[in-house]
Copies of this chain bind each other. A is one copy, B any other.
Amino acid sequence: MMNSRKPQPDPPPSRGRRRLLGGLAAGGLAASQATAAAELLRPLDVAPWSRTPGAPTLDHPYGVPSPREANVVRRSARAWPLPGAASSMTPLADLHGTLTPNGLVYERHHGGVPDIDPEQHRLALHGLVRAPKLFTMDDLLRLPSESRIHFLECSGNTGSEWNGPSGLPVQLTHGLLSCCEWTGVRLSTLLEEAGGLSNPLKPESGWLLAEGADAAAMTRSLPLERILDSALVVYAQNGERLRPENGYPLRLIVPGFEGNTNVKWLRRLKVVDAPLQTREETSKYTSLLANGSARQFAFVMDAKSVITRPSPGHRLSTHGYYPITGLAWSGRGTIRKVEVSTDGGATWQLARLQGPVADRALTRFQADWRWNGGPAALLSRATDSTGYVQPTRAELVAARGLNSQYHYNAIQQWRVGENGEVRNA
Contacts and interface: CB of A to CB of B under 8 A. Distances in A.
Interface string A181-213: 111000000000000001000000000010001
A73 to B, nearest CB: 4
B50 A114 contact: yes
Interface string A49-76: 1111111111011111110110011111
Nearest to A273: B19
A29 B235 CA distance: 36
A236 to B, nearest CB: 4
Contacts of A86: 57-58
Chain A at the B interface: SS class: loop
B147 A98 contact: yes
A38 to B, nearest CB: 11
B7 A40 contact: no
A49 B114 contact: yes
A41 interface: yes
Contact of A55 (B60, B115, B120, B297): B115
A225 interface: no
A27 interface: no
Nearest to A105: B63
B15 A118 contact: no
A1 interface: yes
Interface residues of A, number: 144
Nearest to A143: B323
Given A10-B282, A61-B88, 17 more contacts: A1-B296, A10-B279, A11-B278, A16-B270, A20-B128, A23-B128, A41-B124, A44-B213, A52-B215, A57-B86, A66-B244, A68-B118, A97-B147, A97-B239, A100-B239, A103-B103, A104-B240
Q: What 9 A-B pairs come out closest when comparing CB atoms?
A: A54-B112, A7-B282, A61-B73, A97-B147, A96-B236, A49-B114, A96-B183, A56-B83, A54-B114
5 contacts: A1-B297, A3-B296, A4-B293, A63-B74, A97-B181
Interface of A: 1-11, 15-16, 19-20, 23, 36-37, 40-41, 43-44, 47, 49-58, 60-66, 68-69, 72-76, 80, 83-84, 86, 88, 94-105, 107, 109, 111-118, 120-122, 124, 126-128, 132-134, 138, 142-147, 181-183, 198, 209, 213-215, 217, 235-236, 238-246, 248-249, 265, 267-268, 270, 272-273, 275-279, 282-283, 286, 292-298, 317, 321-323, 325, 354, 356, 364, 366, 368
